[in-house]
Chain A
Amino acid sequence: MRRPHRSRVKGATTMKRILLAASLMLAGSLALAENQLGGIRPVTPLDEESEARQIPNVVNSDVRQVRNYPDQPPVIPHKIDNYQLDLNANKCLTCHSRTAVEVSQAPMISVTHFMDREGQTLASVSPRRYFCTQCHVVQHDVEPVVVNGFVDVDRVLDFMRGKKEGGQ
């Protein structure tokens, strides 16, 4: 009496599971088709070879860019192709070192770059600040692949002030 009943229930749950799995897969594939998992991830299936994207141009305007927050390392507004930056030579300092700025009229590296980790100012660039491209990077002329929700602190302050004035 019990046995057939049990097996009937079991059969029903299996059926339900299959249906659930199928609907999930369908929903998943729909979401995939809708989203295309864009951004930096390539859309081509793994077993196919995608077409190489065009290498974007480096911004070479020589116009200094705004910093998004005070201690942001400034971005490099020019090309740095084949700039040698190793133990032997630092091409960046050809123009940006303290003694070179008179000739180059380039911005001098910040005074913080002369400080060691204890805050002692040294006579020349501190070794921990020597490799410029650890923090400073060039920009490419492209649309951002991921939407950036960053809000400048000044805008936050404006918002706060507006709220205060509105409240009073």
Chain B
Amino acid sequence: MLNFLKRLWFIIRQPATHYSLGFLTMGGFIMGIIFWGGFNTALEVTNTEAFCTSCHEMRDNVYQELKPTIHYTNRSGVRATCPDCHVPHDWTDKIARKMQASKEVWGKIFGTINTREKFLEKRLELAQHEWARLEANDSLECRNCHSAESMDVTRQSKRAAEAHERFLFTGERTCINCHKGIAHHLPDMSQQAFVEPLTPTTGQIARGPVRLAEIEAYLQSARP
């Protein structure tokens, strides 16, 4: 192995014997344009709504749900497409997300959500991934368009203005904490909270019959 590397290094260090300097530099330059341009074009193509909705999983489920919402149809006609919210705009983060998306290619090949039923079963988990991502990056994709600095609360309804002043401007909450399900339908939220209460409640909702002794034991344990 070491010998092989040594030989490789030796070859690389040799000056070219048959090709001219002009050929090598110009060739390198042109190939660079082709490869980098191709890479970038591929990146751009996969970052369009047309690409996302070319699969029926996206087109028949989430894309249809987006259509009546304000992010698709509104008075001014400005709209968000899939990657505006689901792919980071900065290059490094974008590449990281694209690498994660190889999981989605896997899902597509093996038909993880290729029927409506499979999709509905999985959608809570999928939604939780997105909520977690947006909570972690302080709703970066929302803030690409909606800036708190430019938000004129006097033009908002009283309710919205109060909520934004209390939670957004203080940094206590981020966009996604309250604005879940604005672009797609929500999954079964019975085990979920839209907004976590300020004083967290403990325990999960018990499903099915629970014995009295169990409840008593729980109350004992919950006592300070």
Give me the interface of A with B, judged by CB distance under 8 Å: 60-62, 78-79, 81-82, 84, 87-91, 94, 99-100, 102-105
Contact between B189 and A88, CB atoms less than 8 A apart:
yes
Q: B residues within 8 A CB of A89?
A: 181, 186-189, 194
Chain B 129-167 near chain A by CB (<8 Å), digits 1 or 0: 000000000000000000000000000011100110000
Contact between A88 and B195, CB atoms less than 8 A apart:
no
Give me the interface of B with A, judged by CB distance under 8 Å: 68-70, 157-159, 162-163, 178, 181-182, 185-189, 194-195, 197-199, 201
Q: A residues within 8 A CB of B178?
A: 94
Contact between A84 and B186, CB atoms less than 8 A apart:
yes
Q: A residues within 8 A CB of B189?
A: 88-90
Query: When chains A and B are docked, how far (Å) is the Cα of A60 from the Cα of B159?
Result: 9
Min C-beta distance of A96 to chain B, whole Å: 12
Min C-beta distance of B128 to chain A, whole Å: 14
A62-B157, A62-B159, A89-B181 given as contacts; is B188 within 8 A of A103 (CB)?
A: no
Contact between A103 and B195, CB atoms less than 8 A apart:
yes
Min C-beta distance of B39 to chain A, whole Å: 39
Query: When chains A and B are docked, how far (Å) is the Cα of A102 from the Cα of B187?
Result: 25
Closest Cβ neighbor of B161 among chain A residues: A62
Contact between B157 and A60, CB atoms less than 8 A apart:
yes
Additional A-B contact list (8), CB under 8 Å, known A81-B70, A103-B195, A104-B163: A61-B158, A62-B157, A88-B185, A88-B188, A89-B187, A89-B188, A94-B195, A102-B199
Closest Cβ neighbor of B69 among chain A residues: A82
Main secondary structure on A side of the interface with B: loop
Main secondary structure on B side of the interface with A: loop
A62-B159, A99-B201 given as contacts; is B185 within 8 A of A84 (CB)?
A: yes
Closest Cβ neighbor of B124 among chain A residues: A88
Min C-beta distance of A108 to chain B, whole Å: 13
Contact between A99 and B197, CB atoms less than 8 A apart:
yes
What are 20 residue pairs bridging A and B, where the CB atoms are less than 8 Å apart in the complex?
A60-B157, A61-B158, A62-B159, A78-B159, A79-B157, A81-B70, A82-B70, A88-B186, A88-B188, A88-B189, A89-B181, A89-B187, A91-B181, A94-B194, A94-B195, A99-B197, A99-B201, A102-B198, A103-B195, A103-B198
Q: A residues within 8 A CB of B195?
A: 94, 100, 103-104
Query: When chains A and B are docked, how far (Å) is the Cα of A84 from the Cα of B186?
Result: 8
Q: B residues within 8 A CB of A99?
A: 197, 201
A60-B157, A62-B158, A84-B186 given as contacts; is B70 within 8 A of A103 (CB)?
A: no
Q: B residues within 8 A CB of A102?
A: 197-199
Query: When chains A and B are docked, how far (Å) is the Cα of A105 from the Cα of B187?
Result: 26
Closest Cβ neighbor of B200 among chain A residues: A99
Contact between A87 and B197, CB atoms less than 8 A apart:
no
Q: Give the contacting residue for A78; candidates B157, B181, B188; CB below 8 A.
A: B157
Query: When chains A and B are docked, how far (Å) is the Cα of A90 from the Cα of B70?
Result: 19
Closest Cβ neighbor of A78 among chain B residues: B159
Q: B residues within 8 A CB of A88?
A: 185-189
Contact between B187 and A103, CB atoms less than 8 A apart:
no
Which interface residue of A60, A61, A89, A105 has the most chain B CB atoms within 10 A? A89
Min C-beta distance of B4 to chain A, whole Å: 59
